[in-house]
Amino acid sequence: MARGLAATGSKRRKFEEIADHIELAIVSGHLKVGDRLPSERELMERFGTGRGSVREALFVLQRKGLIHTSSGAVPRVGEPKADMMVRELSGIARLLLNRPEGARELQEARALFEIGLARQAAKMASAERLEAIRAALAANEDAPDAPTFVATDIAFHSAIAEACENSTYLAVNTAFGEWLHGQRTVSAAAGSTRENVIVQHRAIFEAIARRDHVAAEAAMDDHLATVAHFYWKGRAGSA
């Protein structure tokens, strides 16, 4: 651990230097999942800095998901999780959404990604996962109001991502759902009706259920193209 956390001089802010050294120690394997980090006092002495810089460095590492901290306990190296990786991109994504070209690029990225999810789900979804997608579709069809319809719409797409059995796919899908959440409302207001969405969702599910990955791709492509069309129609109408 001492090798991995050896201090060196730097003109950068001290907390960045500390955070980078600890991150390197984790990535290189000097510090492993579950290992305790040195105490705040030890880090202060090792890097020749004050408590504020050490705490700021630990905050940065915690936000990245590299360490876990709790009140009164020495921080430990955390288990890497895909959602932490994606969370780091959230601020940039929200800035992109403020620009028409950025919103369009994110929309296109989501479409390419979810078309791939539909294809993969058709190829590999287990019976249990297929039942989860079917149940999500049924809940979407039975939604009593607009907020519930939006929530079950998101759940349907999430069930398809879960069927691919890949935590990174699920994390990215969840992020797209959060980043583009407002587009569902705009699309609906512009004419993307509940009935249209349900018909398209049903086509996606049926293609996945019969293991037709080509049809699943096409159905998802058609669905997201329709959503995009009504989103831009609604956005132009409100300009």
Q: Where in the chain are all domains bearing CATH 1.20.120.530?
A: 86-238
DSSP calls for 168-184? HHHHHHHHHHHHTHHHH
Alpha-carbon separation of residue 116 from 178, 221, 231 (angstroms)? 19, 10, 22
Low-confidence ranges of the chain (pLDDT < 70): 1-12, 82, 84-85, 88-89, 188-192, 237-239
Alpha-carbon distances, residue 165 vs 118, 134, 218 (angstroms):
13, 17, 22
Residue 133 falls in which region: left (phi positive, over 0), alpha (psi -120 to 50) or beta:
alpha
Cα separation, 135 vs 149, whole angstroms: 14
Instruction: Specify the CATH number for 86-238; select among 3.40.50.720, 1.10.3210.10, 1.20.120.530, 1.10.10.60.
Output: 1.20.120.530
Q: What is the pTM of this model?
A: 0.70
Q: Cβ distance 216 to 125 under 8 Å?
A: no
Is-contact 66 23, C-beta < 8 A?
Answer: yes
pLDDT the model gives residue 9: 47
Backbone phi and psi for residue 155, each to the nearest 5 degrees, phi listed first:
-65, -35
pLDDT for res 94: 76
**Alpha carbon distance 66, 84 (integer Å):** 9
Distance in angstroms (rounded) separating the CA atoms of residues 124 and 117 = 10
- pLDDT of 190: 56
- Range(s) for CATH 1.10.10.10 in the chain? 14-80
* Whether CATH 1.10.10.10 fits 14-80: yes
Segments in the chain forming alpha helices (H) = 14-27, 40-47, 51-63, 82-87, 90-97, 100-124, 127-141, 146-162, 167-179, 181-190, 194-209, 213-238
Could you say which DSSP state residue 80 is in?
Answer: P
The letter for the amino acid at 125 is A
